[in-house]
Chain A
């Protein structure tokens, strides 16, 4: 099957392209990218006139999601999670190992990949556990999981428990040039905290998680990455101090990269009080920080010191959230709101351009995980996201393709969204609210 995408703005920082191009897809590959591809050069192709209001970019990759399967299928499955991903414009997701059982061995990895193949939507890159059961004691079988398809290792949901384990993980995974992704949180400082330790938590009587709980562990990890030569990727950076540590680590040559979430870029702990007080959809870990932290993260997005935007998509059943704040589960869903938040709060707010957005959502995750993607060039896998920068979007949690509804953004009006998602040359999502996507939608129906 061939597909000719005509007349859209193509933004591909990896190839240095930002201009009107035609893109020819042949089978699962991109066969040609040119200023104009005549129809006679694309015999047999479905031709879709996109126009310059839409933007064709390398497929977005969310390197931090929780698909909950195996073990918590009432919250999400690989099928519903990847349906959510493609609806959010993501052609690939990397899923964390805190399932039940934990993805700490090759058989769990293979099970996840089997479910992903059956769903046949977004690509799924499993992340294996650093330690058996993610219990922070013994290294899990990293080589075996790598062979089965894991692309990185993490005890996410928890930090890598000790400095000694982190050192060994960096050394051992370093043998394969693979990153250790760490949820940086000193548990002795975080205690039973449920919100950012600051004025608002103090007044609401919520136990605080100090910024220092994150900062000290980021420092620890960077020292160890520098000492071992291993690559540490700091998950969901939320504090100004942690970001400063990453910047300092990079400047002295440590192999450190980091990600932030859309919610830490758009919200602060002030939201705990209004418009709804004690809204459990604002309970996440790391917690929403203060406005100075949020502003520092926005500066890091602008100046390039933050590598990736990842959602930390954390679906929960309504029963897990419709309880007292301190008993509610941590986390919010993010796959279907990330692009709109990115456009509205970063691009349209004048903080970054679309090219930088693509770096954060596609180029850099592909580079860090060393997976295909992040580029639109002849011969590449045809993983493509088509963005609609001016599309008015009203977030409707009830319409999410995810099983879960736990978002603080329900009802938000945002500017910018996803027009279509193409994985391996196959249209897996076409947004009916975008007129130009109609041709793609027909193609999607034919194929499904």
Chain B
């Protein structure tokens, strides 16, 4: 497999599953250049000038939508935000009809978040515009995976050979699915830990070590990635109580001490303090949680640039 891709093969970014290692490295490398843009006094390049990007969010989102919007503006794209509450979907229009109507206005890219797994694939088959998956159901959240990998690489200098523990609600997490695909492709040793009621079947076939013992997962880890417990899952009876969850799976300073001394703590947010993560850990010296947010803009700039952008000199300009 080539390690020196110069562009992405497809018009879309639907998931990590579709990317090969060279494409992943291309995105991460490009994101480094994009991060440099953020350090300039004027944080803007003309790369996507004259191109329209529509952020089509069928699910509530603040962090991801804002991150994409900032990325688009820094690339000088014309951006348009459409949220479910304003859309004609509430009037009964189908997803495809909504997308085709928007496409008639000639956007270069549509950034889509949707509650149904595979919704972005449906749109990608239907639309000429590039589709960027900003989270589809419980399937994938590829830019989150990429920004997580970028953050790990930035801190550790590499990903191959690292032990990375992912702890939390594995079953419902699109972040988890993107991350295990990405981190295993890049050669990390990934441990997945959570209550068995929140664990997808046949996890071992995904190339990860599955365990319900959090101490085993974090033992000697280079990075610990916590996943959010969605409080609405309590209705499903997946575990007895938030108190008990924190006791068994919560990331405490004592558990962090089992990891390598220079281990980093990650969380895609939003966090439930005292449920999946103790405040001392979230705010502690090992936490890179806010770095992830910063890096998210750079990674999303890289993705948009590679899907719709121009040449290297435009970034450097």
Contacts and interface: CB of A to CB of B under 8 A. Distances in A.
A198 interface: yes
Interface string A295-337: 0000000000000000000000001001111110000000000
B57 to A, nearest CB: 15
A326 B200 CA distance: 18
B202 A205 contact: no
Given A205-B138, A205-B140, A198 B96 contact: no
Contacts of B116: 324-327
B206 A324 contact: no
A323 B139 contact: no
A324 B95 contact: yes
Contacts of B140: 205
A206 B174 CA distance: 11
Contacts of B137: 205-206, 326
Interface in B179-204: 200-203
A: contact size bracket: 10 to 19
A278 B118 contact: yes
Interface in A190-211: 197-199, 202-208
Contacts of B82: none
Contacts of A322: 94, 96
B211 interface: no
Interface string B131-162: 00000111110000000000000000000000
Contacts of A202: 200-203, 206
A433 interface: no
Contacts of A198: 201-202
Contacts of A323: 94-96, 122
Contact of B121 (A208, A277, A319): A277
Nearest to B117: A205
Nearest to A198: B201
B201 A203 contact: no
Interface string A246-280: 00000000000000000000000000000001100
A197 B201 contact: yes
Given A204-B139, A278-B122, A326 B201 contact: no
B45 to A, nearest CB: 34
B200 A204 contact: no
Q: Name the residue among A204, A207, A208, A319 with the largest chain B CB count within 10 angstroms.
A: A204
B119 interface: yes
Contacts of A326: 116-118, 137
B: contact size bracket: 20 to 34
Contacts of A319: 94
Q: Name the residue among B96, B116, B140, B203 with the largest chain A CB count within 10 angstroms.
A: B116
Looking at chain B's contact residues, the main secondary structure is mixed
Contacts of A205: 117-118, 136-140, 174, 177
B10 to A, nearest CB: 13
A325 to B, nearest CB: 5
Nearest to B180: A203
Contacts of B17: 203
B95 A203 contact: no
Given A322-B94, A324-B122, A204 B201 contact: no
B141 to A, nearest CB: 10
B205 interface: yes
Contacts of A204: 117-118, 139
Contacts of B267: none
Contact of A324 (B119, B202, B203): B119
A240 B95 CA distance: 37
B163 interface: no
B255 to A, nearest CB: 26
B114 interface: yes
A277 B118 contact: yes
A199 B201 contact: yes
B201 A208 contact: yes
Interface in B93-130: 94-96, 114, 116-119, 121-122
A206 B96 contact: no
A95 to B, nearest CB: 29
Contacts of A278: 117-118, 121-122
B16 to A, nearest CB: 11
Contact of A325 (B96, B117, B201): B117
A206 B201 CA distance: 12
A201 to B, nearest CB: 8
A208 B172 CA distance: 11
A199 B202 contact: yes
A197 B171 CA distance: 11
Contacts of B119: 324
Nearest to A273: B17
Contacts of B177: 203, 205
Contact of B118 (A197, A208, A325): A325
A327 B92 CA distance: 13
A264 B216 CA distance: 40
A410 to B, nearest CB: 16
Given A205-B139, A325-B117, 7 more contacts: A197-B201, A198-B201, A202-B202, A206-B118, A323-B94, A323-B122, A324-B114
Interface of B: 17, 94-96, 114, 116-119, 121-122, 136-140, 174, 177, 200-203, 205-206
Q: Which 9 A-B pairs have the closest CB atoms?
A: A205-B139, A278-B118, A202-B200, A324-B116, A205-B117, A205-B138, A199-B202, A325-B118, A324-B119
6 contacts: A198-B201, A203-B17, A205-B117, A205-B140, A205-B177, A206-B139
